[in-house]
A and B are shown apart, each in its own frame.
Chain A
């Protein structure tokens, strides 16, 4: 590891004061960045300079900074989360960039995710989709023993693969149609294969798909951009599963 080499980068960052204000790119210089800085730590450095100069820092969503909360959401050089495979913005490290690079940073762009300020968007549409049916209707208490329902490893693994979704919204942001299919299908598929979820499977898929459309997300036309940008590697096979479940629910 070389400790002392630092980089200087040019950032073009989307700045927008509020939901209805016009936005534009502003240019900043990030200095003294090492390969160990995370992408967000690089923006922290720029923000410290802005604050010291009495200017408004760039606002952006972030919290866990370890790739699991789903809060961070930036389009970097046109790609949601920046294009490193299975990686959120907060897990992206500056060793993937080189000295002198110019980087474009924008918020998620999708009609159903209105911009609130700078790089922050309103993603409550994903909560709305979950509220439409992304659960089993069990009560607190009064449920059977955990081992009463056997779930073979293969099924449990399939459910877990789907359940890894962090609800970040990159799938819709990366999709040319702004479709929320990957996100929706992950929850539908997880609960459809588990015995606990099967009783409500038909109702769930219909309500969640309806909610998705009402929220203003587009349709899926098999571009697979969603899978490419998904930081958790959620597979498009779950979309096929959703489609099968949806068809089944029509009869």
Chain B
């Protein structure tokens, strides 16, 4: 099937305004007759639930944590982009649009990206009105910093806790609506199935994580804003509870999964210290404003204290390879460059898997206090984990799985191929193409939640009669029965290996064979090993306790089972995409100097996969991408 993103046509700068005008409206009195479910209350879901509630819809919102304030958006450190052009450095909506298309290696839709750039400015205003304490200068004006892949300063920030402050802004707006009674909040619930009635999304089945009870909720539309899936690599910068489960259950009910192989490996994370480790910690990209990446030129210097390695024996490899962007090269490029140095035997620290991020030049220029003011909390976090003081000794960093560009397929209205199912934030595939630029995910989450879904959902609901399906519909009962038998199956295996042993194994296979470099051979290998691991899981996993209680082992088992299935799809997508683009690097497709080589003739499309049943191959659908405003070109940051 050729998919249609239903993008508006005509001059790009008019597309969103025209589309917004053309969308049908639900009149204010009728809005309260419609019920909308929002799963996930991170930036995307929190902003959506608050805005939809305020418009008058009856909203029911869900999250797995004990409070909507704890979604993993909270962990974003560096900042959020907007095309305000306050620094007068040549920024514009067009430039943000252009940088995002190019940064994504020409694998995103132009119209969606344009809209994102256009509403970016509204987001900053909205957050300021909520009381988000963005960094300001002494005169009181908003301050900016730079992020990778851009030559302008367009990133707004709140110390090293931008995501926290933006999420608390959305949480405060949500709290106001909860108080007003327009949003009903259900925390500690995990969505375990999407209920589809006659081909239309009409509700969800969730597990109450405290009591273990399964609950049904019906609505006129369902929005998923359940975040990203890079925990498929086991160790990542995501939170322990982040999973593919909500997306995966929707996929199994017919929603297409787009570009699962586009995963982002972030260049600056604290290297892994041991096998027991449960997660990796990011050191914000903003550090590359003031930190310089280097490794020793000579292998015999590796064991030396970095201070003892003279300037001329250091290889500032990013500055050498990409003189015009230097340390601010985009993430995919910076990550591969770090891997290259380590593969070449010049990595530092335990196992030779690390490069230096050195602040001494900047400390010399602006002083330790200024650096402390800019990144104090990051240096503190680094010290807590590594017991090293980065003011005195360069940080050691290494790339780690961080972000999912892929996600459920959506059209321009953020609606999936299942009518009534909308997907927001990191959970969808829409704007970042094959590589996301720093500070653009927060922007996307809030754009989707505050400024896109409130309009586009109205266009859908205006054509739907409210309240036609309730939880008494047989599909709800069937869904609960399916979830119960799946749960009981997990509990009854009673094997010998723990859930986390399986998760570590699948993560290891994904990192080694489908991480920063992928090949036909490594992917084929994974496509044998992962199904075998899945089979072993269902024969030999040990899950303790029962279904009718708070049972974290069972929660993890369910998430791991979904990751095992999803890992296979991710590898299938990576194998089919015979090109390198952005975060997807196929070693067979590279230039003589090791840069990614796209194949626009054959792969300039979104690859969206349809579930065909267990044991059957998924079917690939394509949505061709057209570039009318930014010309397809080799991405260069040299």
Contact = CB atoms under 8 A, between A and B. Distances in A.
Interface of A: 1, 3, 18, 34-38, 40-41, 44-45, 48, 50-52, 54-57, 59, 61-71, 86-87, 91, 93, 95, 116-117, 120, 122-124, 126-127, 130-132, 134-141, 143-147, 149-153, 155-157, 159-160, 163-164, 166-167, 190-191, 194, 196-197
Given A57-B544, A152-B140, A153-B138, A91 B381 contact: yes
Contact of A95 (B159, B278, B387): B387
Nearest to B122: A141
Given A63-B240, A64-B75, A68-B75, A190 B131 contact: yes
Most buried by B among A34, A35, A37, A127: A127
Contacts of A139: 54
Q: Is the interface of A mostly helix, strand, loop or mixed?
A: loop
A44 B131 contact: no
Contacts of B54: 139-140
A138 to B, nearest CB: 4
A91 B159 CA distance: 19
B74 interface: yes
Nearest to B272: A36
Contact of B74 (A61, A62, A68, A93): A68
B239 A69 contact: yes
A69 B74 contact: yes
B619 interface: no
B552 A63 contact: no
A156 B136 contact: yes
Contacts of A34: 274, 276
A204 to B, nearest CB: 11
Contacts of B551: 59
Given A66-B75, A69-B74, A140-B50, A54 B544 contact: yes
Given A140-B126, A143-B128, A63 B387 contact: no
A41 B67 contact: no
A30 to B, nearest CB: 11
B217 to A, nearest CB: 19
A71 B70 contact: yes
A36 to B, nearest CB: 4
Interface in B114-140: 122, 124-131, 133-140
Nearest to A150: B140
Contacts of A146: 84, 124-125, 127-128, 134, 142
Contacts of A87: 384
A138 B133 CA distance: 15
Most buried by A among B133, B139, B549: B133
Interface string B271-308: 00110111101100000000000000000000000000
Interface in B147-185: 158-159, 161, 164-165, 168, 171-173, 175-176, 178-179, 185
Interface of B: 47, 50-51, 54, 65-70, 72, 74-75, 84, 86, 122, 124-131, 133-142, 158-159, 161, 164-165, 168, 171-173, 175-176, 178-179, 185, 187, 210, 239-241, 273-274, 276-279, 281-282, 350, 380-381, 384-385, 387, 450-451, 454, 496, 498-500, 542, 544-545, 549-553
Given A64-B239, A134-B175, A147 B142 contact: yes
Contact of A52 (B450, B454, B542): B542
Contacts of A36: 273-274
29 contacts: A18-B549, A36-B274, A45-B276, A51-B544, A51-B553, A54-B542, A61-B66, A65-B279, A68-B161, A69-B75, A86-B380, A87-B384, A91-B384, A93-B387, A124-B66, A132-B179, A135-B172, A138-B129, A140-B50, A141-B450, A143-B125, A145-B125, A146-B84, A146-B124, A151-B133, A151-B136, A153-B137, A157-B133, A160-B133
Contact of B135 (A44, A116, A117, A156): A156
A195 B527 CA distance: 57
Contacts of A160: 133, 158-159, 165
A136 B131 contact: yes
B69 A196 contact: no
Contact of B500 (A37, A40, A48, A194): A48
Contacts of A124: 66-67, 187
Contacts of A143: 125-126, 128-129
Given A57-B552, A190-B133, A140 B67 contact: no
B158 A196 contact: no
A126 B66 CA distance: 11
Given A138-B126, A141-B126, A146-B124, A130 B70 contact: no
B136 A65 contact: no
B88 to A, nearest CB: 13
A69 B70 contact: yes
A156 B133 contact: yes
B279 A66 contact: yes
B385 to A, nearest CB: 7
Nearest to A84: B384
A59 B74 CA distance: 23
Contacts of A68: 74-75, 161, 164
Nearest to A197: B131
A64 B165 CA distance: 16
B131 A159 contact: yes
Contacts of B134: 146, 156
B381 A163 contact: no
Given A18-B549, A64-B74, A136-B129, 14 more contacts: A3-B350, A44-B278, A51-B498, A51-B544, A56-B544, A63-B239, A66-B281, A122-B66, A140-B450, A141-B122, A145-B125, A147-B141, A149-B128, A163-B165
A130 B136 contact: no
A152 B136 contact: yes
Contacts of B274: 34, 36-37
Contacts of B239: 63-65, 69
Task: Give me the 7 closest cross-chain CB pairs, A-B, nearest first.
Answer: A150-B140, A135-B172, A143-B129, A159-B133, A138-B129, A160-B133, A156-B136
Contacts of B65: 63, 69, 71
Nearest to B123: A146
A151 B500 CA distance: 48
B498 A52 contact: yes
B67 A167 contact: yes
Contacts of A190: 131, 133
A126 B450 contact: no
Given A48-B498, A63-B241, A150 B139 contact: yes
Contacts of B124: 146
B175 A127 contact: yes
Contacts of A44: 276, 278, 500
Nearest to B496: A52
A151 B140 CA distance: 4
Contacts of B137: 153
A160 B415 CA distance: 37
Given A52-B542, A117-B550, A137-B176, A194 B75 contact: no
B381 A67 contact: yes
A98 B239 CA distance: 28
A85 to B, nearest CB: 10
B550 A141 contact: no
Contact of B141 (A122, A150, A164): A150
